[in-house]
Amino acid sequence: SFAADVVPKAPEDPLFGLMTAYRADTFEKKVDLGIGAYRDDNAKPWVLPVVKKADAVLRSDPNLDHEYLPIAGLQQFTSASQKLILGKNSPAISEKRVASLQTISGTGAVHLGALFLKKFYRPGQTSSVYFSSPTWANHNQIFSNVNLPITTYPYFSAKTRGLDFDGMLSSIKSAPEGSIILLHACAHNPTGVDPTQDQWKQVAEVMKARNLFPFFDCAYQGFASGDLARDGWAISYFVEQGFELVVAQSYAKNFGLYGERAGCFHFVAAPASDATDVATRVASQLAILQRSEISNPPAYGARIASLVLNDPALFAMWEEDLRTMSSRIIEMRKALRSKLEELGTPGTWNHITDQIGMFSFTGLTEAQVQKLRADSHIYMTKNGRVSMAGINTNNVQYVAEAINKIVR
Ligand code: PMP
């Protein structure tokens, strides 16, 4: 049997541990600012109206069955996903140099990408993957599971609570040739801080000069600005610049399909006369990896997303739903900031409205986070990240007052 020194007890996943603690709390005014899932103004999960509609269409189909999908997933879903993430007029699509596989949401896409790179990227050479500091905690686990060496580039400035762009750029500049640079396409998790388009252009220029490999993680398209094309801009710009790159795409947040695990992995070959052949060969290897990992991806969420992505009327409804979610979050940013300022809370709070997407990196210390939980039953991750979706018109005053109290 396995001795404890062989299989030591692992710590509980911090985020899901937080969720359990929140659920067990019986205090009436408790507030969940932990998990990154959208909530409506009554703190309830929100099934997007367009998803309800697509779901009803699917369920009324007498021919709906539960057969296996192909290894690469639902073809109408993966091709619509390419258009969504690269832009429908992307040269990469018309030149047939994209290989796409449906995955177990964004996590599965990141994993498939990591596994593929470990196996095929620059054989015989060790290339590291660079993460922003900080990044989504799971990046570390996923890439270490496949034994890719990990290092970080500066990203967040604790002083300005904005982007440390000089630090980011100079670190990327000095990365060894061929390094893999993981980039959050938009709505950076956990900081809510994104480069501007001009800054992205500078990053692309340096990466091109240094022959670095972009790995885009896109879990919040449509959530940052409410505009899908705008949120996907960095990826389409890099493709335009002729990079060979990969993208992990999640539909968890923007469709509210969290538990259905709908996502996609894309490999884009650089423009070249043999680019279609490169993409075809890569697709064949990705299929082998996929087969050994999950055989084939789950069908239901992809069917829902596919219906919406391929139907102009449903697509327009989806865009409306995205605006509903992103604008409620923006309103809550404004409300929280102005309440903190009204209370004269020490410090500056402009970062709450400057940051975008689902999260705000408040700058609260771990001790303050613990005190908020103990005194006020407000739950957030210990790095001071707040899921803005947990704030609503009923609790924003309570949250502001609690923060005001603990920072004094
Ligand atoms: N990447 C980032 C940066 C994320 O924040 C998330 C969601 N927490 C994911 C990937 C993937 O999530 P999922 O597997 O639920 O799509």
Task: Report, as an integer, the average pLDDT of 59-74.
Answer: 96
13 residue type, one letter:
D
Look up 201 and say whether it is catalytic.
no
Q: What is the DSSP letter of 45?
A: B
- Which ranges of 312-359 does DSSP label H, i.e. alpha helix? 312-342, 350-354
| Average pLDDT, rounded, for the chain | 96
1 — pLDDT class (breaks 50, 70, 90): confident
Look up 217 and say whether it is catalytic.
yes
Task: Report, as an integer, the average pLDDT of 328-354.
Answer: 96
- What proportion of the chain, given as a percentage, has pLDDT over 90? 95
Predicted confidence (pLDDT) per residue in 88-136, tens digit: 999 999 999 999 999 999 999 999 999 999 999 999 999 999 999 999 9
pLDDT at 34: 93
Peptide bond into 190 cis (omega under 30): yes
**Active-site residue (options: 53, 164, 253, 349):** 253
Inform me whether the pLDDT recorded for 35 exceeds 90: no
17 — pLDDT class (breaks 50, 70, 90): confident
Please answer whether residues 398 and 32 qualify as being in contact, where contact means their C-beta atoms are separated by less than 8 angstroms: no
Look up 136 and say whether it is catalytic.
yes
Task: Report, as an integer, the average pLDDT of 212-236.
Answer: 96
> How far does the centroid of ligand 1 lie from the alpha carbon of residue 106, in Å?
5
> How far does the centroid of ligand 1 lie from the alpha carbon of residue 34, in Å?
14
Q: What is the DSSP letter of 406?
A: H
In this structure, the residue with its CA closest to atom 6 of ligand 1 is 219
In this structure, the strands spanning 162-163 and 262-268 are unpaired
C-alpha to C-alpha distance for 244 and 214, rounded to whole angstroms:
8
- Cβ 132 under 6 angstroms from ligand 1: no
pLDDT at 13: 85
- Cβ 387 under 6 angstroms from ligand 1: no
- Cβ 35 under 6 angstroms from ligand 1: no
C-alpha to C-alpha distance for 248 and 328, rounded to whole angstroms:
26
Q: Which atom of ligand 1 is nearest to the CA of 110?
A: 10
Complex-level ipTM: 0.99
Q: Which atom of ligand 1 is nearest to the CA of 136?
A: 3
In this structure, the residue with its CA closest to atom 13 of ligand 1 is 106
What does residue 251 show for φ and ψ, rounded to 5 degrees? Answer: -110, 15
Cβ burial of 2 (10 Å; 0-12, 13-18, 19+) is exposed
Q: What is the DSSP letter of 8?
A: P
Residue 71, C-beta contacts closer than 8 angstroms, at least 6 positions apart: 101, 287, 290, 291, 295, 296
Predicted confidence (pLDDT) per residue in 240-279, tens digit: 999 999 999 999 999 999 999 999 999 999 999 999 999 9
Residue 322, C-beta contacts closer than 8 angstroms, at least 6 positions apart: 222, 223, 226, 228, 254
- Cβ 136 under 6 angstroms from ligand 1: yes
Peptide bond into 62 cis (omega under 30): no
Q: Which atom of ligand 1 is nearest to the CA of 184?
A: 3
The preferred substitution site among 38, 102, 105, 107 for testing ligand 1, maximizing ligand atoms within 8 Å of CB, is 107
Q: Which atom of ligand 1 is nearest to the CA of 107?
A: 14
What does residue 147 show for φ and ψ, rounded to 5 degrees? Answer: 60, 40
Predicted confidence (pLDDT) per residue in 321-333, tens digit: 999 999 999 999 9
